[in-house]
Structure 1
């Protein structure tokens, strides 16, 4: 897959483009029971819960990769106005979505 430019800005300096449409990349992750137990213990004393931090980092990377895949399938050269959103599902799963507007450069 070619590297599709992803930016959180609306404009790409020096580029003109036409809008293709919205694109999304979504993933849902969960931790196993042993790591949940460890996280529960850690929450009593405070501090970073590294297993959850790693899970969210991995989720963001996967969501971004899926966002790029969808944009490439639509023939896009770039994605503008990219954002992340996340939420909890059922108390033990985390969903992360990357979304933005796919665009095609014009000559």
Structure 2
């Protein structure tokens, strides 16, 4: 019973963060929806089915599950947001070593991202 509650709590929290991401620039939506669908698959089948059949997000979630694929538009959006974030950090006055470290992590993520198949 506790495991079911924890899976549902994770799924609901991720869904809430994904929803907030629709309105807050820089907060991603799809990764949180992927997490919500994954967690729902462990303890909330109705939510999982709703996410997989959602008219806007369902295809992306299914493509990721079946092929590890994402759209070119999503890749561009993520890359632009990471570039903007690196630029903001550079001009924010954050310590240069931290800025460089974060930029290198984002570059690594971008390379991985662009190597994913497209749907």
Same fold by TM-score, threshold 0.5 exceeded? no
TM range (shorter): 0.3 to 0.5
| Structure holding more helix per residue | 2
TM-score by length of 2: 0.32
TM-score by length of 1: 0.35
Larger Rg: 1
Relative contact order (C-alpha < 8 Å, sep 6+): which is higher? 1
